[in-house]
Amino acid sequence: MPNVSQISTVLRLGFSSKRRLSNGFHFVSRSYSTSDPPKPSGPLMSYSKLVEQGRLQHDSYQEKVVSAFENLFGRLEHFEKEMEDYHVILAEWEKKREEERRKLMVEEAEKKEEDGMWASMNKQGQKLWEDGRRQMNVEPGVGKWVSYLNRERKLDSIVGSRPAVPPAPKGLYIYGNVGCGKTMLMDMFYGATDGIIRHRQRFHFHEAMLKINEQMHKYWKENGAEKSSQYSISSWIMNLPVDEKVKEWLAGEEFYKQQLQMKHILPAVADKFLVDQQSSKKGASILCFDEIQTVDVFAIVALSGIMSRLLATGTVLVATSNRAPRELNQDGMQKEIFDKFISKLEKTL
């Protein structure tokens, strides 16, 4: 257990306080004001009822952990409303940005048509830019990246930057020995959020890894492997009253954007990891993650990519583990990626 000076340093740096429980139980959380009365349906009430019924023996340290859950629970209803409003604003921003992006692409294509400059491919896969007078070889992809970045900068100036996510309540990371009640207390909290938080999931570590792996393969199948050799022209392009060469160029630009997105597969998977696609509204998200661990390189890389994205987009994390966050990677695998992930995690607890 850290001595007093170590704990003081952590608090002074603004990280989470760490408390050891008599039964070998630890939890990581921030201190909260308890001025607001707890909701009757919260986890603290559930815990108290189980003690009253004799189904649990009262444990003052477990009660402190449940109180931390109660504080988090009390903030979720307001956060859900904030996130519902945020997603409405975000949807409007995304729609406006896509409309402006297509408009810029069409304008760029029309200018190329006016200038008589179009790209075709020779037998070696090199681009041949035609201006009616000469042809010159250009390496594949040259110019597309610059064109893409310039277009994104223009969109930022026209539409503005992405709306900021409302500050999420701090999550909880509970760790301790097997049998100390980590999972039981987390499940009490998760059950209490039913009907309050629209998008919530509870995964065991191995279950989550299987789901992430499955989603990655699905995304790759739908967006990568089967479309790597050819691309289809989107309906919005097909319906444009323009020359076929203009449509072909637009389709190529769309395909290039898809290829760029494939390089960021983990954020794309994370965006669909918790949200119920059948739901007509989006709100807050909670991820309850039982027995988190890092058993191999894939777990470290996947957890880092998925969780970093979720935390950055307002997801509240509640996790249990047998080890403290900094002790998860005892073998030192992918140390740089792991350290960045843990730093992000600590800021949310």
143-159: per-residue pLDDT in tens? 677 788 888 899 999 99
Averaged pLDDT of the chain: 76
Please determine, for residue 87, whether its predicted confidence score (pLDDT) is greater than 70.
yes
Per-residue confidence (pLDDT) for residue 276, from 0 to 100? 58
Q: pLDDT band at 131, cuts 50/70/90?
A: very low
- Is residue 274 a contact partner of residue 202, using CB atoms and an 8 Å limit? no
Which helix (H) or strand (E) segment holds residue 136: the answer is strand 135-138
Find where tokens 């009390």 sit. 74
**Of 75, 63, 291, 265, the residue nearest 177 (C-alpha):** 291
311 burial (CB, 10 Å; 0-12 / 13-18 / 19+) is: buried
Q: pLDDT band at 8, cuts 50/70/90?
A: very low
Which has more confidence, 17 or 296? Answer: 296
261-279: per-residue pLDDT in tens? 666 788 888 887 776 555 5
Mean pLDDT of 178-185: 86
Please determine, for residue 316, whether its predicted confidence score (pLDDT) is greater than 70.
yes
Cα separations in angstroms, 141 against 110, 121, 315 = 20, 12, 36
Number of other residues whose CB lies within 10 A of the CB of residue 169: 21
Q: Considering only 90-99, 114-123, 242-251, 305-314, which range has the smallest mean pLDDT?
A: 114-123
Which helix (H) or strand (E) segment holds residue 173: the answer is strand 172-176
Sign of CA dihedral 172, 296, 207, 62: negative
Which helix (H) or strand (E) segment holds residue 10: the answer is helix 4-12
Angle between helices 60-115 and 144-159 (to 10 degrees): 110
Q: CA-CA distance, 138 to 254, in Å (whole number)? A: 20
Q: CA-CA distance, 29 to 170, in Å (whole number)? A: 8
Mean pLDDT of 167-187: 89
Which pair of tokens denotes residue 21? 């429980």
Per-residue confidence (pLDDT) for residue 179, from 0 to 100? 80
Q: CA-CA distance, 316 to 302, in Å (whole number)? A: 18
- Around 253, how many Cα atoms within 13 Å sit in the side-chain half-sphere? 24
Per-residue confidence (pLDDT) for residue 261, from 0 to 100? 63
Mean pLDDT of 236-262: 75
End-to-end CA separation in angstroms for the chain? 19
Q: pLDDT band at 99, cuts 50/70/90?
A: very high
Per-residue confidence (pLDDT) for residue 317, from 0 to 100? 92
Mean pLDDT of 306-318: 89
Q: pLDDT band at 34, cuts 50/70/90?
A: very low
Q: pLDDT band at 11, cuts 50/70/90?
A: very low
pTM, two decimals, is 0.71
Per-residue confidence (pLDDT) for residue 2, from 0 to 100? 27
Mean pLDDT of 57-62: 84
Residues 6+ apart with CB under 8 A from 343: none
Per-residue confidence (pLDDT) for residue 32, from 0 to 100? 43
Backbone angles phi and psi of 39, in degrees to 5: -70, 140
CA 191 from centroid of its chain's CA atoms: 23
Which has more confidence, 264 or 84? Answer: 84
Q: CA-CA distance, 318 to 344, in Å (whole number)? A: 14
Number of other residues whose CB lies within 10 A of the CB of residue 78: 12
Q: pLDDT band at 113, cuts 50/70/90?
A: confident
